[in-house]
Amino acid sequence: MEPSDGGSSGDQQGEQELASRTLQIQAKRFYVDVKENRRGRFIKLAEVATGRRKNRIILPMSISAEFRDRLTEFHDYNLQIGPTAPTHLPEDGKLKSAVIVKDFRRYFIDLKENDRGRFIRLSLISRGNRSQIGIPAQGITRLRDAFTELIDQFGSEEDAQEERIVPFRGDIPESRSIRVENKTFFFDIGQNTRGVFMKISEVKQNFRSSITIPERSWGRLRDTISDYMREVRESGEELRSGIGFGGPSTSS
């Protein structure tokens, strides 16, 4: 086994490497590493393509099993549809898609096809940053088996450890999203050592921006929005009645 992309155990970021697997799939090499730091265990999936260019995606151990199951689902679908003629492909080449949400992370899994073949595109959007990895369809089962082996060995302990990071006084509400014209707004509730907070993210095409609002400010934010709603409504009523244009006109 070759050394993993993650380096030796106990690096400068306080990460300890617990296990590593190396997969050679076509012209790409993939490293699947289980690591641990003060926040818990996670799997780092690294892709080394031609020219030694590296792409990395981090998956918390708590969602690694779901990702593994998605790989199985996509593999089965790939076999089910069989070879696809280029004339039957969707315009973007996308054949099947899924999304996994974890805190502020969104993992987009797409089965795609282009003139070089069929593959899975795994994309991670987190705090405005985007990273992605391409996995040839021929290697889906090998990657799934590597995840299964590592999850069986290291998965259960992570779930308990992750719950101990920052105790929460109740159930964290599920993430929500709303679509407004060509924009999507995501609302996520999270917590850190400073308390509970809300993250509001705006996504428009490939652009993403976010703001974070501490829980202690939610009431003031609500009141401010309510004030603006009332003022805009009252202003609109005045304009419709003519008051905003020097009052209603009179004829002599």
Spans of all domains in the chain: 16-163, 176-242
Residue of higher predicted confidence among 222 and 6? 222
Mean pLDDT on 111-136: 89
What is the pLDDT confidence band of residue 10, given thresholds at 50, 70 and 90? very low
pLDDT band per the 50, 70, 90 thresholds, residue 81: confident
State yes or no: pLDDT of 202 exceeds 90. Answer: no
159: confidence class by pLDDT, cuts 50, 70, 90: very low
Percent of the chain with pLDDT over 90: 30
pLDDT of residue 5 exceeding 70:
no
pLDDT at 252: 43
Phi, psi of 195 (to 5 degrees): 130, -165
The sheet with strand 94-102 has its strands ordered as 94-102, 105-114, 117-126, 129-136
- Banded pLDDT at 84 (limits 50, 70, 90): low
* Model confidence band, residue 176 (pLDDT cutoffs 50, 70, 90): confident
User: Rounded to an integer, what distance in angstroms lies between the CA atom of residue 80 and that of residue 90?
Assistant: 17
- pLDDT of 245: 47
Domain 176-242, second-level architecture:
Roll (3.10)
Q: How many CB atoms lie within 10 A of CB 172?
A: 12
Assign domain 16-163 one CATH number from 1.10.600.10, 3.30.2450.30, 3.40.50.720, 3.40.50.410.
Answer: 3.30.2450.30
Question: Given this model, what pLDDT does residue 241 score?
Answer: 72
User: Residues 25-64: pLDDT tens digits?
Assistant: 988 999 999 998 887 889 999 998 766 778 999 999 888 9
Distance of CA 246 to the CA centre of its chain: 53
